Amino acid sequence: MTERKAWTKEELIDFENQIGELYMDNKLPFLFHLSGGNEDQLIEIFKDIKEGDYVISNHRSHYHALLHGIPPEDLKNKILDGKSMFVYDRERNFFCSAIIGGTPAIAAGIAWALKKKGSNKKVWCFVGDGTEDNGHLFEAVRYVDGWDLPCKFIIENNDRSVESSNKDRWNNTSDYKWDSPSVIKYYYDITYPHARRDGVIDLSKTVKKTDEEYFPPLRKEDLPNEDLEIDITYKDSVIQSMDYLGQKENFVCIGYNVLYGDAMGTLKNLPAEKKLETPVAENLMVGLAIGSSFEGYKPVVYFERHDFMMVAMDAIVNHLDKIERISLGEFKTPVIIRAVTADAGPFYSGITHSQDFTNLLKSSLDMPVISPRNGKEMIQAFKGVSESNRPAIIIERKSLY
C-alpha cells in the first residue's frame, strides 16, 4: 500500500473540477455528489486520522477517499464506473454507504470490536446534517459515549438536505448543539448542487449498464448440510447450537434479554462475556454486529419477535444483505440473525407481537432465510451458516419450543 498523500486545498478542488468536466463530457450518467467548500476543515481533521484507522464515509465521499489514501486514478475509475457513492477499500479500512442513517451504528460496532481487541485504531464516521436529522445517529453517539469507544462522528453541516435548510426542517431547533466528546461538528458553504453539477448533458450519448454489470450478484452458496443421526427437541437443538457456536473465540450474541434472560434460556450455558446486552435499539443491534464482523467477530443477533425486526430493516436490507455485493467483495458480513416468531405461547400478546415475516424476509433478501421444522434441521442450519462467511437468518418458532 502506498503512503498516504498530503493533499492541498487546490489539489482537492482540481480533482472535483475534473469530475465535473467528465459529467459535462457525457461520461457520468449517474447519481453522484461532488465535494467542495470544506477543504480546509477536512485537511485539518485528517491530520488526526492515522493510516489504518477506519474512515466511514457517505454519498459525498471523494474528499474523504483521497485524504485517506485512495489513489486519485483509482477513485476516478470508480466514479467513471458508476460507483461514486460506493467507494470501498478494505486495505485502507475505507467504507461508505449512500443510505445516510446506516453508518453510525456500523461505526460503533467497529469501535466496540477494536476496544475489545485492545487495538489502538480509531473510527472516524463522516455524516451530513441530513444524518443529524436521524435517530440512528443519536443511538450510536450515546452508545459510543456510554462505553467510551474509540470513535468520532464528524457532522459536516452545509445547511442543506437536498434543497431544504435546517430551519425548514427543524425550525427553532435547527442548530442542534451536541454535548458529546464523540461529536465534531463544522459548518461550510458547499460549492456544488446537491447532486451532480450545474448544466444539462446529452444522456443519449452516454452508456449505462445493468445492476448485474455494475454489481455482479454473489454466487449462490451451497451451505453444508450434514446428514445427522440425532433425536433432539426443538429448543434443546437451539441450546446445543449456541453451545457449539459459543466455543468459538470470535462468537458474541448481541441483543436485549441475552444477558439476564439468556434469550429464553438458550444461552444459559455461555459465559457473560459472550453476551452483549444492548439498548432497545434494533437498528443499532444489527449495526454493532456488522461493524464487529469487519474485525473478525462472528456475531449472532437475537430478535425475540419478528415484529421488532422491522425497526432494523434498514440495517438488514440495505446493509447486511448488500455490503459484500456492493463492495465487490471488499467487505464481508458473516452475521447470523436469530429471528423468533411468537406464533404461540401461554399468554396472548396481540397482533403486533406475533406476526410471522418469514415470507417477507425471503422475498426481500438475497441472504439465506432458513426455517427449520424440527431439532435436527435446526442443528443442521446453525452448523451450515457457521461455516459460511456470509450473513443468514434462521427462523425460530415459539410454537415448536
Which stretch, 92-96, 99-103, 129-133, has highest mean pLDDT? 92-96
Q: Please, what's the largest Cα pairwise distance for the chain? A: 70
The dotted CATH code for 9-208 is: 3.40.50.970
Strands laid side by side in the 275-277 sheet? 275-277, 251-255, 298-303, 336-341, 392-397, 369-370
Confidence band (pLDDT; 50, 70, 90) for 231? confident
| CATH number assigned to the domain covering 234-400 | 3.40.50.970
pLDDT per residue as tens digits for the range 256-270? 999 999 999 999 999
What secondary structure does DSSP assign to 203-242, as a single string?
Answer: GGG-----HHHHSPPPPP-------------HHHHHHHHH
Q: Distance between CA atoms of 109 and 125, rounded to whole angstroms?
A: 12
Separation CA 340–CA 400 (nearest Å): 11
- What pTM was computed for the model? 0.96
Would 9-208 and 234-400 be classified into the same CATH topology?
yes
Where residue 343 falls among pLDDT bands split at 50, 70, 90? confident
In percent, how much of the chain has pLDDT > 90?
Answer: 85
Residue 163 has a pLDDT of 85
Residues constituting the chain:
401
Grid cell 476496544 in the structure block, residue: 115
Percent of the chain residues topping a pLDDT of 70: 100
Q: Computed from CA positions of residues 293, 266, 314, 213, in that sequence, does the dihedral angle turn out positive or negative?
A: positive
Can you read off the three cell numbers belonging to residue 265?
434460556
> What tens digit of pLDDT does each residue of 24-47 get?
999 999 999 999 999 999 999 999
**Domain definitions of the chain by residue range:** 9-208, 234-400
